[in-house]
Amino acid sequence: MNDLIGEVLAVVRGELDAHRASLRSELSDGLPTVWAAQTQLQQVLLNLVMNAIEAMSSVTTRERVLIVKSEIGASGDVLITVEDSGTGIDPNHVDRVFEAFFTTKAQGMGMGLSICRSIVESHGGLLSIAPRKPNGSSFCVMLPTTAPDNAGDD
Angle between helix 112-122 and helix 38-55 axes, rounded to 10 deg: 150
At residue 35, the pLDDT reads 84
At residue 151, the pLDDT reads 40
At residue 11, the pLDDT reads 95
Class of domain 2-145: alpha beta
At residue 101, the pLDDT reads 57
Asked whether the beta carbons of 140 and 67 are under 8 A apart, the reply is no
Query: Hey, what's the torsion of the CAs at 45, 105, 62, 2, to 10 degrees?
Result: 0
pLDDT in tens, the chain (154 residues): 999 999 999 999 999 999 999 999 999 999 988 888 899 999 999 999 999 999 999 899 999 999 999 999 988 999 999 999 998 887 777 776 777 655 666 566 556 788 999 999 999 999 999 999 889 999 999 999 864 343 444 4
At residue 91, the pLDDT reads 75
Helices (H), 57-147: 112-122
Angle between helix 2-11 and helix 38-55 axes, rounded to 10 deg: 50
At residue 136, the pLDDT reads 93
Domain borders along the chain are 2-145
